[in-house]
Amino acid sequence: GNTNEKPVHSVTLSNYYIGKYEVTQKQWKDVMGKNPSYFKGRNLPVEQVSWNDVQEFLRKLNQITGKHYRLPTEAEWEYAARGGAQSSGYQYSGSDNTNKVAWYGKNSGNKLLSGDWKRSKIKSNNCKTHTVGTKTPNELGIYDMSGNVWEWCNDWYSRKYYKKSAGTNPQGPSSDSFRVLRGGGWKSTAHGCRVANRYYWEPYDREKKIGF
């Protein structure tokens, strides 16, 4: 693993619900009235949404439904991605075979690529997002937690906090510069799609590889 994934530590979580699929462009448009995504398709994951954009989506969704939807914490995300209490200990979410569970840099384009990851190969192969739920789900029946789009978590990103993370319902540091991303995306390496992998981005930035 990477240095920012260590040390391995246990956490205790309270009960929570999490979406079966990545949020789609149809769902986003139904709430927000417009679709910001680069790759268009009603059942493709919404992308080019910042962490701040997602907070506005959640505010409106909660207003419409009277419920309390939110982003998962980093610990909640990883627990779900690993298959919860039904986990088989896979490297990716639901399998040790990346192609089985993830749309990523080698399989998200016109043909299955081989050899080392190169940005030029990804671009020329028309790699892109894919309809949610078309790969195999993990042990809990959740799809695309490895690959397709990176997924925002609620936490601020920190290496220091992660090393001394609270044992029960960790929330991340109270402030920092970046928000946590997990799961890898359509142009990631297989290494980037591991459930242990941690990444981060500015909360105001939008990318065609990032959703939730």
Query: What confidence tens digit (pLDDT) does each residue in 162-205 have?
Result: 777 678 999 988 899 999 999 999 999 999 999 999 999 999 99
> pLDDT tens digits, residue range 106-123?
999 999 898 887 878 888
User: Are the CB atoms for 96 and 88 separated by under 8 Å?
Assistant: no
In the prediction, which pLDDT does 114 show?
A: 87
> pLDDT tens digits, residue range 30-43?
999 999 999 999 99
> pLDDT tens digits, residue range 89-102?
999 999 999 999 99
How many angstroms separate the most distant Cα atoms in the chain?
A: 50
Q: Would the pTM of this model clear 0.85, i.e. be above it? A: yes
Three-point CA angle 50, 23, 170, nearest 5°: 70
> pLDDT tens digits, residue range 58-74?
999 999 999 999 999 99
Burial 77-87 (b: 16+ CB within 10 A, else e): bbbbbbbeeeb
